[in-house]
Amino acid sequence: MIRKILAPTDLSELSRAGVRYALAAARDLDAEVTIYHVVTADEMKKLGDSLKRHTFSASGFPNFLKSYMHTYEASLARFVEQNFSDLVSLVKVDEKVELGSPDRNIVERAKTDGVDLIIMATHGRDGLSRMFMGSVTEQVIRNAPCPVLAIPPYLAEAGQELNSAATREEGLPRKTEPEELDRMPSGH
């Protein structure tokens, strides 16, 4: 039984597909969703660059870091509100932001929260970019304590079709009834 779904996002347009699928699945399964953003090392480097322009006392740094995390929490809340307002009122949603490595944090969050299913978009990188950067989705699939549903980029690019499919009354594709199977052409 699926009761807890983890929906990682990097707040990109492509990641919306995974979050939308997670929310639609949660609605149909009466499950709860954690929409999860991991602030990466690259984002932390930007923080380090901005710190060079400021002077802090030792006691002031924790407040700056806390403020920095609030900025990402607000970004995640805005991302959810702007893209999923049609679904969030229908599902129990928790939003979390943490610092770290996305693949490791996602796997650890799934373990810690007792997640039953991870639904995430994949950016569809291949070739050299994947070899050098690795695939977050691939690492999550390899190490997750639960099943992972990876939403491919062409579904994210389908935009309107995805939005209408995920928000239609019955949500996920309906089950085919046995009598419908009898009417389907054979030989495929």
Q: Read off the tokens for 172.
A: 């996920």
Kind and range of the H or E element at 121?
A: strand 117-121
Half-sphere exposure of 24 (CA within 13 A, CB side): 21
Average of per-residue pLDDT values in the chain? 78
For the chain, what is the radius of gyration of the CA atoms?
19
Residue 118: DSSP 8-state: E
- Tell me the whole-structure pTM to 2 decimals: 0.75
CA nearest 152: which of 3, 11, 18?
18
Reported as a single tens digit per residue, the pLDDT across 139-187 is 999 999 999 999 887 775 554 344 444 444 444 444 334 444 444 444 4
Residue 132 lies in a domain: yes
The CATH number that applies at residue 34 is: 3.40.50.620
CA distance 29 to 134: 32
Residue 26 lies in a domain: yes
Residue 188 lies in a domain: no
Could you tell me if 25 and 171 are in contact, meaning their C-beta atoms sit under 8 angstroms apart?
yes
Count of structural domains, the chain: 1
Domain region containing 42: 4-183
Reported as a single tens digit per residue, the pLDDT across 77-92 is 999 999 999 999 999 9
